[in-house]
């Protein structure tokens, strides 16, 4: 993390992730209930609560893994956070897939969320596989893709109020956002990876 722009981007991303993760953890409080629109999803009980808790953990931990200082100076900590992140993505993503099947917003939203879940599971599993084979550069590339998808939780919550401000029909907006929340994130990650060949220290 060298340039000032990179530091600011990381700080903003981490702050937004913290905010959305903090909001999601409220589902773990006793007596928490699903909001209207989501409560009607037949998968809500128990998958929303499993999903919110685990996916929020991935969102909270993800930004820490991009700190070069932590990676190089505390490799054991980096590994433990990484294992927790992978576990949170794989379990939270599976619960997200179950929820996607039951979304009451119709087939466009169902397929959009399901595609996000499957892509999230694949990119995270690939990142894990690469590190098991000690392919550090590929590991980092797949982790960037995985976190771009984890970050969909943040972009979704930016687009929702934006659609409201723009007076877009909430259901139409929700269907579009089931795709818009993650496809552009993945495109940005791919552009970044194409422009910056990564070289990772073997100590990762």
- Please tell me whether residue 148 binds ligand HEM under the rule CB under 6 A: no
Q: Are 20 and 153 in contact (CB under 8 A)?
A: yes
- Please tell me whether residue 82 binds ligand HEM under the rule CB under 6 A: no
> Which are the contacts of 116, defined by CB distance < 8 A and separation ≥ 6?
96, 100, 149, 152, 178, 181, 182
- Please tell me whether residue 58 binds ligand HEM under the rule CB under 6 A: yes
Q: Which of 16, 61, 86, 99 binds ligand HEM (CB under 6 A)?
A: 99
Task: Mark the segment that binds ligand HEM (CB under 6 A) among 7-15, 111-119, 137-145, 184-192.
Answer: 111-119
Length of the chain: 204
Smallest distance, ligand HEM to C-beta of residue 29, A: 12
Nearer to ligand HEM, 97 or 131 (CB): 97
- Please tell me whether residue 150 binds ligand HEM under the rule CB under 6 A: yes
Nearer to ligand HEM, 124 or 204 (CB): 124
What part of residues 151-190 is at the interface with ligand HEM (CB under 6 A)? 152-153
| C-alpha distances out from residue 25 to 38, 156, 188, 189, Å | 16, 17, 28, 27
Nearer to ligand HEM, 42 or 68 (CB): 42
Q: Which sign, positive or negative, has the C-alpha torsion 190, 194, 196, 199? A: positive
Per-residue contact string for residues 29-48; x = within reach of ligand HEM by CB under 6 A: ------x--x--x------x
Q: What is the DSSP string of 27-89?
A: GGSTT--PPTTTTTSTTHHHHHHHHHHHHHHHHHHGGGGG-HHHHHH-HHHHHHHHHHHHHHH
- Please tell me whether residue 142 binds ligand HEM under the rule CB under 6 A: no
In the block, residue with structure tokens 């893709």: 145
Q: Are 99 and 47 in contact (CB under 8 A)?
A: yes
In the block, residue with structure tokens 């969320």: 113
Two structure tokens written together for 65: 């893994």
- Please tell me whether residue 128 binds ligand HEM under the rule CB under 6 A: no
With contacts defined by CB under 6 A, how many residues of the chain interact with ligand HEM? 27
Give the interface with ligand HEM as residue ranges (CB under 6 A).
20-21, 24, 35, 38, 41, 48, 51-52, 55-56, 58-59, 93, 96, 99-100, 103, 105, 113, 116-117, 120, 149-150, 152-153
């Amino acid at each position: 993390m060298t340039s000032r722009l990179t530091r600011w981007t990381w700080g903003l991303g981490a702050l937004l992730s913290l905010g959305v993760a903090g909001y999601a953890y409220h589902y773990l409080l006793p007596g928490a209930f699903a909001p209207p629109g989501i409560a009607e999803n037949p998968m809500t009980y128990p998958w929303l609560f499993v999903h919110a808790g685990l996916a929020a953990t991935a969102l909270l931990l993800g930004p820490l893994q991009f700190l070069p200082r932590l990676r190089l100076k505390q490799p054991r900590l980096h590994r433990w956070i990484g294992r927790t992140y992978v576990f949170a993505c794989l379990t939270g993503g599976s619960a997200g897939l179950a929820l996607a099947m039951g979304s009451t917003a119709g087939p466009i939203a169902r397929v959009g969320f399901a595609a996000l879940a499957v892509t999230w599971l694949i990119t995270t599993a690939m990142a894990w596989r690469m590190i098991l084979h000690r392919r550090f550069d590929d590991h980092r590339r797949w982790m960037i893709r995985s976190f771009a998808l984890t970050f969909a939780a943040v972009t979704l919550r930016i687009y929702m109020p934006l659609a409201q401000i723009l007076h877009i029909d909430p259901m139409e907006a929700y269907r579009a956002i089931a795709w818009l929340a993650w496809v552009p994130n993945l495109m940005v990650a791919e552009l970044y990876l194409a422009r910056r060949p990564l070289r990772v220290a073997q100590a990762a």
